[in-house]
Amino acid sequence: EAGVTQFPSHSVIEKGQTVTLRCDPISGHDNLYWYRRVMGKEIKFLLHFVKESKQDESGMPNNRFLAERTGGTYSTLKVQPAELEDSGVYFCASSQERRTEAFFGQGTRLTVV
Amino acid sequence: QKEVEQNSGPLSVPEGAIASLNCTYSDRVSQSFFWYRQYSGKSPELIMSIYSNGDKEDGRFTAQLNKASQYVSLLIRDSQPSDSATYLCAGGAYSGAGSYQLTFGKGTKLSVIP
């Protein structure tokens, strides 16, 4: 069974540009999460999808971040325009319906210069 | 504010010894706890989950939870060099919006010396 897959693994963009991160959850997992680790800090929650619906997006830093999960399968996280403080590792995780054990992807390391 | 605290290490133990990783949490909302192992540049891998007070054993790993003391630990018996990684402690709880979320510590880096 394939795990959670994230693309790209690394992205370096200039301040003001747009970047889109993609996450493919484990097949059949209704819950999809985005988390972020900023350098020197702990991994923090960004938002949670249940199928195609946003259950909780309280962790999103500001309106420059837009997450979608059309069709309830893969998800994208767009940052527009990117700022220096957006640099970090963005993790995606998924879990089965009503299950609390979440499985993580390898992350996308975003560097904004 | 929920917090999960871990000693960042590095924690060095000789091969074959017991590695003890500790975690404390600052609120009483977290209902369950998870230990993830992360090798450099790889995904955090779930290795243990614990939902009630006491010990839970799985192979060489034992997780311990003490809700009264707000303390979680992970013991690795017969440590191997392949156990060298960063270990992340996370508490799980439902938010007000009904979303099950993890609150992570910063992680403890473990080095097992051959």
Binary contact (A31, B34; C-beta < 8 A): no
**CA dihedral sign of residues A79, A27, A10, A85:** positive
Q: For residue A5, what is the nearest residue in chain B, using CA coordinates? A: B43
Q: Where are the beta strands (DSSP E) in A25-72?
A: 31-37, 43-50, 53-56, 65-68
What is B70-105 written as a DSSP string? TEEEEEESS--GGG-EEEEEEEEEE-TTS-EEEEE-
* Cβ contact A90:A21 at 8 Å: yes
Tell me, yes or no, if B88 comes closer than 8 A to chain A by beta carbon.
yes
Whole-number pLDDT of residue A1: 65
Tens of each residue's pLDDT in chain B, 114 residues = 568 999 888 999 999 999 999 999 987 668 799 999 999 989 999 999 999 999 999 999 999 999 989 999 999 999 999 999 999 999 999 998 889 999 999 999 999 999
Q: In this predicted structure, what is the pLDDT of residue B1?
A: 56
In 3-state terms chain B splits into helix, strand, coil percentages (rounded to 5) of 5, 55, 40
The SS3 of residue B38 is strand
3 state DSSP class of B44: coil
Consecutive 10-residue averages of pLDDT for chain A (113 residues): 92 98 96 95 96 95 95 95 97 94 96 98
Instruction: List chain B residues with CB under 8 Å of A106.
Output: 41-43
B-proximal residues of A, 10-69, CB under 8 Å: 31, 33, 35, 41-45, 48, 55-56, 58-59
From the list B36, B43, B49, the residue facing A105 with the nearest CB is B43
Put simply, whether B76 touches A (Cβ < 8 Å) is no
Please give the structure tokens belonging to residue A30. Answer: 């209704």
Of B36, B46, B95, nearest to A58 by CB-CB distance is B95
Beta bridge partners of B13: B112
CB contact under 8 A, B4 and A101: no
Max CA-CA distance within chain B? 48
Tell me, yes or no, if B43 comes closer than 8 A to chain A by beta carbon.
Answer: yes
Q: What are the chain A neighbours of B5 within 8 Å (beta carbons)? A: none
Report the C-alpha gap between B18 and A88 in whole angstroms: 33
Coil/strand/helix, residue A8: coil
User: Of A17, A24, A32, whose CA–CA distance to A1 is shortest?
Assistant: A24
Tell whether the torsion through CA atoms of A61, B102, A33 and A36 is positive or negative. positive
